[in-house]
Structure 1
Amino acid sequence: MTQNTMQQVIITAPGGPEKLVIENTAVPVAKTDEVLVKVHAFGINRPDILQRQGLYPMPEGVTPVPGLEVAGEVVAVGSAVRLFQVGDKVCGLTNGGGYAEYCVVPETQLLSVPVGVSFVQAAAIPETFFTVWANLFQMGRASAGETVLIHGGSSGIGTTALMLCQSLGIKTFATVGSDEKIQAIAHLTDAINYKTHNFEQVINEKTSQGGVDVILDIVGAPYLEQNLNLLRRDGRLVYLGFMGGSMASQVQLWPIMMKRLTITGSTMRARNAAEKAEIAQGLQQHVVPLWAKGECLPMIDQIFTFDRIQAAHAAMDSGDHVGKIVVQVI
C-alpha cells in the first residue's frame, strides 16, 4: 500500500553538496501515461552535479527535485498505461524527481529489470545507457568492426560505452586520468593515461596511423584538434559534455572537409518524450537481453544510503570514481 508522505532531496541554493537537504512532502500522483515507482535505489549523474551548481536548470514545468534515474517497484499506474502493472520490477529515465522515496516516470521511459539484476545495478542503468545508446549508436552510428575512442573511459558514461562496444564487436580505446583507472577498465579496453601520454600519438601507433571511426567526448575544446586528426574518413565526433571547456579557437578545419567528418552531440534533457521513447525501445530490444545474460551490467563504484546524499555528491565531485555512484533508498 502506498503511503501519503515521503522524503525527497531538494537543492536549497546553487552550490556544493551541502546545499542538498532532505525534506518531507506528499507522494506524487501518476498521470494517465505515468507509473508511480517506489524507489529502491537511484543513480548520481553529472547533470545532477551541474543542476546543483545552478548550471543545468530543469525545463519550465518540470520538478526542480534532482534525479534522472531510478529503480524500484511499480506501486500505481495511470489509466492509459499498458506495458507495466503493479508489482513489476523496473528502472527508468525520469524527467526529474528521482532523489525521492517515490517517483513518477512516463511509461515509455521505463525498462523491465531482468531476473538476477539487483535494484542497485538497475538504478545505475537508465541515464548512462539512454545517453550512450542515443549518442554513440544512433547519432554516432557505431557498428561492429569499427574502432571507437571514449574520452573519460572510467566514468559511468565511459564504462557503459565500453561494455556495449565490447559486447557488440567494436574495438575501443579510452582516455583516463590515472594508471589505477587503466587497471580498473583493462578488461574492457585499451586505456591511455592522458596525463602521462599523448593519446593521439599512442592511438596512431597502435592503429598504424589508421585512427578511429567514432569519438565520444566529454572533454570538449582541448581535444578538438587531436580528435579531428584521429578520425578516419567519414568519422564521427559526438559531444556529450565540455568538462575542459566549450570554446575552441585556432583549430584547423580542413580535416572536416577532406575526411567528410561529422561533428554532433546532444543532451538528454533537450529530447522530447517521443525521442526518449524511441531510445527506450532500442534498449529494450538490443540491450535488455544482454543484461538478462549477465552482460553489460553497470560497474558500481560506491553505494551510499539515502541520508548520505551529500557524501554521494562529494564523491562524484572528486572525480575519483570508476563507474557509477548509487544511492540505496531501501
Structure 2
Amino acid sequence: MYITITAQSLSGNFGQSATAFVDYLEKENEGKPMPELEHFFDQHHNEISAEEVIKEIDNNTAKLKKSEPKFYSITLNPSQGELKAIGDSPEALKQYTREAMKAYAKAFNREIDGKPVSINDIKYFAKVERQRTFKGSDKEIQENQPYATKILELKQQVRSIQRGETAGNIKKLQKAIERLEREAPHQLNGKRIVRDMPKPGPQSHIHIIVSRKDASNRYSLSPGSKYKASEVEMNGKTVKRGFDRDAFYRNAEKTFDNLFKYKRNYVESYTARKTFLKDPKLYFSMITKLPTNERAMAFKLLQKTGINTSLLSIPTNKLQLTMKAINTLKRGIGKAIESGSIGI
C-alpha cells in the first residue's frame, strides 16, 4: 500500500475552490452510462454528487487565509498483489477507505471539545478509480523514448515530403517507422507503450479530498503539520497539536492486513520503505536475512518491477554490495515506490 498526502495547490492558476480538483477526479466518468459511474462517498453515505462535494469543501473554510490550503488530497494506492487479494472489488476498497480514515483521525494529536479527534470530526469525500495510465516518469515510457524521438523525426520527414518541401522515399521512411514501432522494448497488445495508454491488470486506487477544517468548521486539522505531537500555550490554555504521518501509514497498512487477512511480505511494508529511504544498505541486508520462503517471495515481488535481484544473491551472513550495485538497486526500487507497483 502506497499512501500519499498532498496539500491543495494555491500557486499559479489554481483557485481557492475545490472545483478543479473535483473535476479532475470526475475524468473517468466521462462518456460512461449512468450504471457505470463511480460516485463519491464518505464515512456514512454513497452516491454523493460532485456538486455536493465542492459545496461541502468550499463552505468549510472558516478563518482560513488565502495562503492556506483549504483541503488535502490523500491517495490510497494498493499494489496489484493487494488488489488481487480482494478481487479488485470497489466495495472492498470503500470498506477499507472508511477504516483507513479512522486511522487518519487517530493520527492527530488534538482534542475537540475535550475528546481526541475521531472520524466524526473529519469531513472527507472519496472516490474509487479503476484505471491508471502511463506517465513520463514510468520506466516503460523512458526506455521507449529514444524510439519515440526517432519515430517523430521520421514522421516529420514524411510530412515534409508530402507537402513538397523536400524530396525522399515515403515508403522507405514508413517501413523504418514500422520497424522502430516493433523494436521498442516495451509493448502492450502488440503496440509500443506511449504516454496516456491505460496500464494493464488491476489498477484500482482511491482518491480522497479531506477538508482542512473539522466537520464543525471550528478547528484546523492539518496533516501537513511539522509536529508529530506537542503542546503549546494559546490564550492561557495548553493546546495539543500535531499529526503523526508514520502512525497513519503504519495503521492504514495494518488495517488492510487485518480486514482482508493479507499476508504482507517485508518488501511491501511501510517499515521496509522507511528503511530503504533512510539506509538502503540496511534495507538490502534485511531482505537477504529473511527466512527462505519470505526471501524468495521478496525477490519475486522485486523482479516483477524489473529490478535485477541477482545483485542480492550473496551470503546472508555478510552483505558486500558495491556502491555501484547499491545505486542500481536504489534507482529501480525508488521507481517502484513512486509507482506503488510493489506497495512499499
Do these two structures clear the TM 0.5 threshold for a shared fold by scoring above it?
Answer: no
TM-score, L = length of structure 2: 0.28
Which structure would you say has the larger RCO, counting Cα contacts within 8 Å and 6 or more residues apart?
2
Bigger Rg, structure 1 or 2: 2
TM-score, L = length of structure 1: 0.28
The structure with the greater share of residues assigned to strand is 1
The structure with the greater share of residues assigned to helix is 2
